[in-house]
A and B are shown apart, each in its own frame.
Chain A
């Protein structure tokens, strides 16, 4: 018996025609026609045969694993003729092919002689359907008038990239299909002679008829046709006898190897000392430049080895952290494109190989790698194909390079972290080992290698809660985390690998805390959580990447392909340490020696501005502060000119004086100034009433409702400024729980001026494009969700109040989901992180509660939606892995998979006081997070009830599942369904929004235009519907969120009357940028090139040259001002200034009109 030979065979083989017929009484083995691609069988473009053919496309032939024609899947095929009836056997026949199919496809043809056009089905085909061989035939006996074809599909798939023998037989009543000599399918649906079409292209290497042409990719070896049907035993015998000759494979051996388990003799660290890798741990790739040779990679001179050029395999166990345009982990390549590189291309693991044509060709995995995840990568070249296996599976195959590698002369082989002489190609991540082998491997060998490599990957420490990091000041950081199982745990940290510092947690349960001391400022600090696990290997467990709180979610079948799983990073940036910057501003007006100013500076973590008209008093105060060591950082003394203050309104959190009670009283004008510069929503005026005189303005005025009188510890009255009247807040993603995107602020109107600018940004912020959660504002605080970090900012003066770094915090693509953050007016911030809701004290940034998803439906759920409303904390549960977390530059601007909606399995309500469950509500379909709207005692949402939606494994569902959609109202107090109504929104393929105002529920979505449907909120009846074509199909044009503006709803470029759907405005400015709009009662904010303001009343439009926002909602008209936290982070454009800033209406600020003459 001659054995089956797979792709490991490389020596030229011949197809054998047996000399002994089988069975002995078989009349003949002579075939009706044969085609081959060995020497002498092809002349020019002609394939010599009993039925000669013409090769179309580029002719390339290989000898391994069989002599064959290379099919490129695009243009190459062999055309034999167009009259199958005249060319091919009319009755019984057999057809065989030695073939390598490189990739599955819906319609694949190896020998094609058919017409399959609608109901008309005639002829036959040896080919494949998806990943299975098939034999198709239409016979006269089964003819239904225009032919009826049976596609007999193999019960086993073929192996891509591997040589197979396929054979189909027809004996007049039974179709049989064989693969590698074994029967894989039988059908008796046909009978009689073949029903040939009058005309059809007869081709090899393509499925082709009058209206279809599907060339295959792979290798076409010998093809043969008999004019009789071979029997099963004959087929087995024939397969064994006619296959390629057996080859004794070359022993596999390494040519060069790098392994973290072994000492690198010439490895040197940055200081030139020998570097000893830890055998238990991977070598880190930290993107070092070539000057750091030795720490991250090793260079081997090619003269030390015989570099294989005709066949080889390059194997590595690696993990990558960064997406690079092109990156190399192992390379033998020069800058002119010669050689090869194992690494990545734009986030896809890949292998680049240069052939003799001088071009370097990449084969890449179709899926992006998950940062921090370990992969066994095997790239191989056998002279006829370049293959890439990941974790033992073939993921890419290319035949662009045939023959041998074009070697990079005089170029060393480098292991780990670069392939070019710059840092751009330097990888970040880790490598356990990388080995160059002398030949390509068989599939079995590759799977065995992948299995062995998997044993090297350390077990994963499961974290219940990823570390939260809080700056304590002066280089001190608090880190808290929870492990899933109790036991000792520690933080290892440092600025470079290997991490040199370790702090053990005092806890031995699941909750841990460590205080890091002497953390260098303005540096990126790397860390890993270390614990002990019950594992037979004697290793201290390494957590290569901080992940979500439990077992990673299952893969998402047919889910998005973008990087989503990475929930954290192994670093935190001390550049975000705001703890020493002061948390606000104190004004001391009227100086008597400066002692009080100094005392306040010592007492509060704030900056003190001390002022007086008298230069002598200014000098004395300066001297006092200098002597106290406070001048500069904590106290500054300004000389005031005149009765008015030069400061913009609202800036000071605390205003006081050094004047004694019997000193000079403030004038009415000065009294107004004191009040003007005091911060609303809690700012304190601490000046004795007698010094405030008899002013009619707050706080002394009897009619004033702006001041809240409080008692000082000394018994003295102090005044606390109330929130500004007629101003708005922004507690939810789109302003309020009703998603109106309008703050209803009455003060934000007219021309605006700068109120403050500065941090945070751009460094800690999320990259600009990912459609991130909106900032929020409640009281005097703005909450910003930066890159895995929460930052609280004093909205009126920009002071950083606190920050908290949480690697597990990330949610993007908000238009297809919902925010993970809500603020409440009772000084709480609610943030969903993995499967928990973090309840954070808005004043201090401390966690006051951690709330699990209280309801589980079938399986554990992550926390999806949040709302805080009328005695309820509302939440939803989403399937783990459903939320978008892309951190590698995803933009989520188009349709397709990135527009799939995140849906919830359950809606519930908790008591805000104790977080006990009040009710839960299970929808009848999949609840679209982007539509959840809460207002006036009801929760409203849209759900999709189609079978595919309900049956989807993932929480993300795509357009084909967005069917049978209903608009649903649920009672806020009970969770019971109030009403529901079917709605026709299946064509919304970009997004779906829901908002409510004035008794109207507004549904907005886009297909090829904007659609608006308005329902009555009390019963779900349709009030009106409209649509209009969009202004632009890029930069978020079709994603624009509506804005409620009085009794109108602004939908992209048009405004509609909420009552009747009449168009009330046209030509609403769209702006160039990718953001969406917000509004006060008088002003609409958006990003054009820069921050822009449009007054619908006057149609005036102003733009703040030099500063821009991000790609979603980033400008809040709230509290009488406009907040615009930095959101252009990462923009490499030349926008002049990247800063957070706030604007104030010029009409609210008299300092705009105080022009000082030249002095």
Chain B
């Protein structure tokens, strides 16, 4: 945690994040905004300290997307259900916690040695990372239960079944609850939030429990959304991804539904304030949505995105792109206003109204302005770098870490140059950073720990 304080102070000063006190990397994405921005920087000379292999590799729930959309001639469609390609981790001061979609267990692994300290059995695949809150570990399972465990011992403090009923059916090739937990748990202000259920007509539940005792604070049943994808929380709102559809937004205080985002659907999402960034749609598009408005502010080609106050990083199948997102959005909004006015003028001219000369003059000015804005928007892309690590990214200090096939790599955030790379076994979909240490999980069930070469225990 050596750099955490300074970075947090900086972020707070920038008005960008208002982080509550949470564990170091409490769950997937590193915070409840799933920002993938680490509190600490990473050394450029990381070495593998240890690795651990799950007895059973991850078994993702869903197969890949359709081969193509023949009717619309769309090839190479993206999977909008990529949440459990690997088992993702939560990181505490002493242990790394990882669930398994293969053997349904939660593992607590010692950060120093890489040895398993305790395990806990659930009765269904664990497809989402646990959430660590102090000494409580929250785990959601396809068995339909949310479990609260003692993070030190693995003892069950309480468990709840949000749907109430215990009905089990074959789902995604396993016998699981008809109401599996498919968003993972999240904790804020001492309240545990989770969902249960996939098929709206069977009922899909959004529930809130108090962390200490597991008492239900409120629970809502919905019949139009299949909750699936990592849950996100802001100061006032909960964001629930809905599989291939668009996320739905709720009031965090009582579960009142506030609206839903627009866009092409997907389960990869992050929050910056109450701006939702999500995708990948059908072909790899990240959309930006403000608060509860349905319209997209902007869209970018890519599968993933990292957002910071000063810069955003777009991650496509083949490259990494640095973008001055704030300026881009500002220009984009101006262009939209100008284009709207241009359209309006066009309609007025077509209608044969008066002041034709003035309108034509204004239209010409608008045309020039739109061209200028478009040129300025192009300048918002600061650099582009080829990137053959397409599965995941996190930002740690001045490095963008990216996971690929059998390799993980770090790119310099200032210019996109390759700063570091290391071999792993499998596709590296899972990245987590804490206290200068990088954890990588792959689709073979491997968990790697990379530390600075100088850290005791690391290989020099």
Measuring CB to CB, which residues of chain A are less than 8 angstroms from any residue of chain B? Answer: 287, 289, 291, 322-325, 346, 423-424, 522, 573, 575, 581-582, 585, 607, 609, 622, 629, 631-633, 636-639, 641, 646-648, 651, 753-759, 761-765, 767-770, 787, 797-799, 887-889, 891, 1102-1107, 1129-1132, 1134-1139, 1149, 1151-1152, 1154-1159
Interchain CA distance A894-B6 in the complex, whole Å: 66
CB <8 Å contact, A1104 and B201 = yes
CB <8 Å contact, B265 and A769 = no
Interchain CA distance A887-B105 in the complex, whole Å: 44
Q: Could you tell me the distance in whole angstroms from the C-beta of A418 to the nearest C-beta in chain B?
A: 13
Interchain CA distance A668-B171 in the complex, whole Å: 29
A1136 touching B100 in the complex, CB below 8 Å, given contacts A573-B67, A755-B169: no
CB <8 Å contact, B173 and A651 = no
Interchain CA distance A622-B104 in the complex, whole Å: 12
- 7 additional A-B residue pairs with CB within 8 Å, beyond A575-B63, A887-B70: A632-B56, A632-B100, A632-B103, A755-B169, A767-B69, A889-B71, A1158-B161
State which size class the interface on B falls in: 35 or more
Interchain CA distance A424-B386 in the complex, whole Å: 18
Q: Could you tell me the distance in whole angstroms from the C-beta of B122 to the nearest C-beta in chain A?
A: 10
Interchain CA distance A647-B228 in the complex, whole Å: 23
Interchain CA distance A423-B68 in the complex, whole Å: 14
CB <8 Å contact, B103 and A633 = yes
Chain B minimum-CB-distance residue to A1153: B165
CB <8 Å contact, A767 and B70 = yes
A647 touching B178 in the complex, CB below 8 Å, given contacts A581-B173, A632-B56, A1135-B244: no
CB <8 Å contact, A759 and B63 = yes
CB <8 Å contact, A1154 and B66 = no
Point out the residues of chain B lying under 8 angstroms from A767, CB to CB: 66-71
Q: Does B188 contact A (CB under 8 A)?
A: no
Interchain CA distance A522-B72 in the complex, whole Å: 24
Interchain CA distance A891-B66 in the complex, whole Å: 17
Question: Residue-by-residue, is B316-333 near A (CB-CB < 8 Å gives 1, otherwise 0)?
Answer: 001000000000000000
CB <8 Å contact, A754 and B202 = yes
Interchain CA distance A1100-B42 in the complex, whole Å: 61
Point out the residues of chain B lying under 8 angstroms from A762, CB to CB: 63, 65-66
User: CB < 8 Å: which of A639, A759, A1129 contacts B66?
Assistant: A1129
Interchain CA distance A459-B41 in the complex, whole Å: 62
Specify which of B102, B200, B201, B228 lies most central, judged by the most chain A CB atoms within 10 Å of its CB: B201
Q: Does B246 contact A (CB under 8 A)?
A: yes
Point out the residues of chain B lying under 8 angstroms from A325, CB to CB: 73
CB <8 Å contact, B104 and A632 = yes
Q: Could you tell me the distance in whole angstroms from the C-beta of B250 to the nearest C-beta in chain A?
A: 17
Point out the residues of chain B lying under 8 angstroms from A582, CB to CB: 173
Q: Does B297 contact A (CB under 8 A)?
A: no
Pick the 3 closest A-B CB pairs, nearest first: A632-B103, A889-B70, A767-B70
A648 touching B73 in the complex, CB below 8 Å, given contacts A1130-B66, A1132-B282: no
Measuring CB to CB, which residues of chain B are less than 8 angstroms from any residue of chain A? Answer: 55-56, 62-77, 100, 102-105, 121, 123, 159-161, 164-175, 178, 198-202, 216, 223-226, 228, 242-246, 264-265, 282, 318, 386
User: CB < 8 Å: which of A423, A799, A1136 contacts B170?
Assistant: A799
Specify which of B123, B171, B173, B216 lies most central, judged by the most chain A CB atoms within 10 Å of its CB: B173
Chain B minimum-CB-distance residue to A576: B63
CB <8 Å contact, A1106 and B200 = yes
Q: Could you tell me the distance in whole angstroms from the C-beta of B201 to the nearest C-beta in chain A?
A: 5
Pick 6 A–B contacts, CB within 8 A, sort by A: A322-B75, A651-B170, A1130-B67, A1132-B74, A1136-B243, A1136-B265
Point out the residues of chain A lying under 8 angstroms from B103, CB to CB: 631-633
A1154 touching B171 in the complex, CB below 8 Å, given contacts A289-B318, A762-B65: no
Interchain CA distance A582-B173 in the complex, whole Å: 9
User: CB < 8 Å: which of B100, B174, B224, B226 contacts A1137?
Assistant: B226
CB <8 Å contact, A651 and B175 = yes
Chain B minimum-CB-distance residue to A632: B103
Q: Could you tell me the distance in whole angstroms from the C-beta of A849 to the nearest C-beta in chain B?
A: 31
CB <8 Å contact, A1105 and B223 = yes
CB <8 Å contact, B63 and A761 = yes
Q: Could you tell me the distance in whole angstroms from the C-beta of B379 to the nearest C-beta in chain A?
A: 18
Chain B minimum-CB-distance residue to A760: B63
CB <8 Å contact, A769 and B199 = no
Interchain CA distance A264-B72 in the complex, whole Å: 36
CB <8 Å contact, A1158 and B244 = no
CB <8 Å contact, B243 and A1106 = yes
Interchain CA distance A794-B70 in the complex, whole Å: 29
Chain A minimum-CB-distance residue to B60: A522
Point out the residues of chain B lying under 8 angstroms from A641, CB to CB: 166
User: CB < 8 Å: which of A423, A637, A754 contacts B76?
Assistant: A423
CB <8 Å contact, B170 and A758 = yes
CB <8 Å contact, A768 and B71 = yes
Point out the residues of chain A lying under 8 angstroms from B56, CB to CB: 632-633
Specify which of A323, A622, A763, A797 lies most central, judged by the most chain B CB atoms within 10 Å of its CB: A763
Point out the residues of chain A lying under 8 angstroms from B105, CB to CB: 632
Chain A minimum-CB-distance residue to B105: A632
Interchain CA distance A755-B223 in the complex, whole Å: 18
CB <8 Å contact, B164 and A797 = no
Interchain CA distance A1028-B264 in the complex, whole Å: 40
